[in-house]
Amino acid sequence: MKRFVFLALILALPAAAQIGDTNYRLRDAGQETRSREIGKELRWLGCQNQSIEDSDAPLARDLRRIVREQVEQGASNEQVMRFVHERYGDFVLLRPPFNWSTLLLWATPALALMGGLFAIWRTRRRALPAGPQELTEAERARLARLQGDTRA
């Protein structure tokens, strides 16, 4: 039994990794949740697929702190996002905005789908008339010649 409890504790250990940075938590639970929501939307530029909430880099910690400070001072989610966006640009947003420079990025799934559909349409169109067909005169002649060849 003791061994089982020990094992269960060991197995539960990775959950502790999710607790993360407890230094700058806001006392107000609602504000903290909101800060976390904002942080999840912001990319930590040092490790490009981590949000600032997931990264342990000192600068990510600073950004988390800034988000919390602003939320505490009553800033809206949009205001905080704008603050960070003004400094770090489009790339900091894990959900990039839709504008001219990100058009291709957003259009890629649709373009890929259209490309795939086009490819299917083309191959099917070509495949359709491939039913049993009469041999042409030239083919029949060639066949006869080939058969003659093997027999010879």
Partner 1 sequence: MSERAASGDRKANGVAKPSRRKLMVYAPLGVAALGGLGFWAMLRGMQDGSFNPRGVPSVLIGRPPPEFALPALEASSLPALASADFRGLSGPVVVNFWASWCAPCIIEHPHLMALQRQGVPVWGVNYKDRARDAQSFLSRLGNPFSRLGADEPGRVSIDWGVYGVPETYILDRGGIIRWRWAGVITTEIMSQDIQPLLQRLSRA
Binding residues for partner 1, per CB under 8 A? Answer: 45-46, 48, 58-59, 62-63, 66, 86-89, 91, 138-139, 142, 145-146, 149
CB 57 to partner 1: min, Å: 8
Which residue number, 58 or 109, has a Cβ lying nearer to partner 1? 58
Q: How far apart are CA 9 and CA 11, in angstroms?
A: 5
- b/e map 37-75, b = 16+ CB within 10 Å: ebbebbbbbeeeebbbbebeeeebbebbebbbebbeeeb
CB 141 to partner 1: min, Å: 9
CB 151 to partner 1: min, Å: 12
- Which has the closest alpha carbon to 57: 69, 43, 47? 47
Which residue number, 22 or 86, has a Cβ lying nearer to partner 1? 86
Which residue number, 33 or 147, has a Cβ lying nearer to partner 1? 147
DSSP-based three-state secondary structure for 28:
coil
CB 46 to partner 1: min, Å: 6
Helices 77-88 & 58-72, crossing angle to 10 degrees? Answer: 140
Which residue number, 107 or 141, has a Cβ lying nearer to partner 1? 141
Sheet strands (E) in 12-61:
43-44, 50-51
Residue in the block written with tokens 């990319």: 43
